[in-house]
């Protein structure tokens, strides 16, 4: 369930589905971020492949948002290297390959929900975006609010808008920071369905959340504590609980 792309996708494919299933989509090599306050990341190594759904967990201040910020090119590493689809994070190619949704989504105050989707689809050269956009709006129960300004929405409604905006464009890596916050139950179920579907089509997905529902589709768990990876592998309710509680 991805839009068609009138130009080359980040990996060079013109097919509807993200390419690169099984390939290394995200490669984090000894990434360090020193904010000077004891917070950040220390020599994090992480490789994520196409088709994986990685559940990123850890207590508050563990470095989860920092890691996603580095991957999305929003934060510069102090040391180390981060490659997205083979290119340095933050580069034009990497930004084209990675669709990110931060914990507090940035939306344009003067654009309606539908105009957000049109703008993002056009920016990424997506052809015939309208039908897919309508599917997303319907899935997240935004059809009746599509012509309204999300700046007037509740947090949950803004989160739905951000999800639709991130999904309407092509990508090989999807990063989402605390996506379930403020979502009603139907929207949470819709998000799980979309995550499973884009992973099946070959995209890599990294989700920072403590929400146990993600266990239904997650294939791997990465745990952070004090800016370091302390777990990379099995995903289960017990593992997540231990990593979050410390």
Per residue in 75-103, pLDDT (tens digit) is 999 999 999 999 999 999 999 999 999 88
Q: Which residues contact 207 (CB under 8 A, 6 or more apart)?
A: 53, 54, 55, 56, 175, 176, 179, 195, 214, 218
pLDDT at residue 128 is higher than 90: no
Question: How large is the average pLDDT for residues 1-17?
Answer: 37
In a domain, 176, yes or no: yes
At 106, the pLDDT band (50, 70, 90 cuts) reads confident
In a domain, 36, yes or no: yes
Q: Kind of pairing, strands 126-127 and 98-101?
A: unpaired
Q: Which residues contact 181 (CB under 8 A, 6 or more apart)?
A: 103, 155, 159
In a domain, 163, yes or no: no
Instruction: Give per-residue pLDDT as tens, 34-53.
Output: 998 778 999 999 999 999 99
Q: Which residue has the tokens 């890691």?
A: 67
Mean pLDDT, the chain, as a whole number? 89
Q: Which residue has the tokens 């004891």?
A: 38
- What domain range includes position 69? 22-104+171-245
Of 104, 109, 101, the C-alpha closest to 151 is: 109
The H or E element that residue 195 is part of is helix 185-200
Euclidean distance between CA atoms 68 and 75, whole angstroms: 9
At 21, the pLDDT band (50, 70, 90 cuts) reads low
Question: How large is the average pLDDT for residues 137-160?
Answer: 94
Question: Three-state SS for 53?
Answer: strand
In a domain, 142, yes or no: no
pLDDT of the residue at 13:
30
Question: How large is the average pLDDT for residues 165-192?
Answer: 94
User: Residue 208 belongs to a domain with what CATH number?
Assistant: 3.40.50.300
In a domain, 160, yes or no: no
pLDDT of the residue at 175:
97
Q: How many domains in the chain?
A: 1
pLDDT at residue 138 is higher than 60: yes
């Amino acid at each position: 369930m991805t839009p068609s792309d009138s130009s080359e996708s980040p990996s060079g494919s013109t097919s509807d589905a993200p390419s690169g299933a099984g390939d290394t989509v995200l490669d984090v090599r000894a990434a360090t971020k020193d904010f000077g306050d004891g917070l950040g990341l220390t020599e994090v190594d992480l490789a994520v492949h196409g088709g994986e759904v990685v559940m990123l967990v850890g207590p508050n201040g563990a470095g989860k948002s920092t890691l996603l910020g580095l991957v999305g090119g929003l934060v510069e590493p102090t040391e180390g290297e981060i490659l997205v689809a083979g290119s340095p994070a933050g580069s034009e190619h990497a930004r084209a390959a990675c669709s990110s949704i931060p914990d507090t989504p940035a939306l344009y105050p003067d654009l309606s929900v539908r105009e957000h989707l049109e703008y993002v689809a056009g920016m990424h050269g997506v052809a015939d975006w309208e039908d897919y956009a309508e599917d997303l709006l319907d899935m997240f129960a935004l059809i009746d609010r599509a012509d309204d300004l999300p700046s007037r929405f509740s947090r949950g409604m803004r989160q739905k808008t951000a999800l639709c905006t991130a999904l309407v464009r092509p990508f090989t890596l999807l990063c989402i920071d605390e996506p379930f916050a403020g979502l009603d139950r139907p929207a949470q179920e819709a998000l799980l369905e979309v995550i499973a579907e884009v992973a099946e089509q070959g995209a890599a997905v990294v989700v920072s959340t403590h929400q146990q529902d993600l266990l239904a589709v997650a294939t791997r768990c990465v745990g952070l504590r004090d800016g370091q990876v302390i777990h990379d592998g099995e995903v289960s309710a017990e593992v997540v609980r231990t990593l979050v509680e410390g």
